[in-house]
Structure 1
Amino acid sequence: MQHPVTHDGRYFVVRGRLWRMANPNLDEEERADLVGRLMRARRAVRDAKRSADFEAEAAAHKAVDEAKRALGERGPVWWDDGSPDLNRHMAKNTIYSDWYAKIGR
Structure 2
Amino acid sequence: MRTPDGRYLVVRGRLWRATDPGLDPDERERLVHELMSARRAKAAAMRSGDADAREEARRRVDAAKVALGERGPVWWDDGEPDLTRRTARTTRYADWYAEVVGETAQEGATDTATGGAAGGGADGGTSGTRR
- Bigger CA radius of gyration: 2
Query: Once the two structures are aligned, what percentage of the paired residues are identical?
Result: 59
Q: TM-score, normalised by structure 1?
A: 0.95
1:96 matches 2:93: yes
Secondary structure of 2:10's aligned partner: strand
Q: Specify which of 2, 5, 8 is matched with residue 5 of structure 1.
A: 2
TM-fit CA distance, 1:9: 0.2
Alignment RMSD:
0.5
Q: TM-score, normalised by structure 2?
A: 0.77
1:16-31 paired onto structure 2 within 5 Å: 16-31=13-28
Structure 1 runs of 4+ aligned residues shifted over 6 Å read none
TM-fit CA distance, 1:29: 0.5
Q: Specify which of 54, 61, 64 is matched with residue 67 of structure 1.
A: 64
1:44 matches 2:41: yes
